[in-house]
Structure 1
Amino acid sequence: MQITIIGAGNMARGIATRALAGGHTVTLTAKDPAKAARLAEELSAQAAGDAAVRVGDDFAVAPPNSSSWPCRSPPRRSSRPPSGPG
């Protein structure tokens, strides 16, 4: 399976490490291409079998439609009565 990860921080490192252990190909892309390249170089030593790490050039994030972006949760309702004087 080919997996693309947007970002090159701690979460990307963890996800990529697990994906590589499973033999998947990982593409890393980030705002800072140098950071993605450093992580790819570091992770390539861990790649086993047919697994591989590469750095992607560009990426785009396209939400399904403008009315659903950003996603907002409905307000939470409290089951407790309001506290205060009285």
Structure 2
Amino acid sequence: MKKYLTIFGVFIILIGSIYSYIQYNLARYSVYYASNMPRKEGAKPELVMAVENKNFINEPNGDYVHFDEEHDHTIYSQFVKLS
């Protein structure tokens, strides 16, 4: 019985680790995935993914992008309001 409980525990830990890695990967690279998926003309899913997962993605190298979360949850790109 103890053998089965140990195997079950290891199995649960393995499944949890795989699930956590998949969720992290999807959040981290969501902008890449959104930019390469088929979409309607004029749709911008990259902006949605950037806002939803901004804690996981790398910040831009320049000062031209600014996320304003305190007031109206907007993104400013080169001082132009995007949403």
Q: Same fold (TM over 0.5)?
A: no
**More RCO (CA 8 Å, sep 6+):** 1
TM-score by length of 2: 0.22
Q: Which has the larger share of helix?
A: 2
Q: Which has the larger share of strand?
A: 1
TM-score by length of 1: 0.22
Rg (Cα) greater in structure: 1
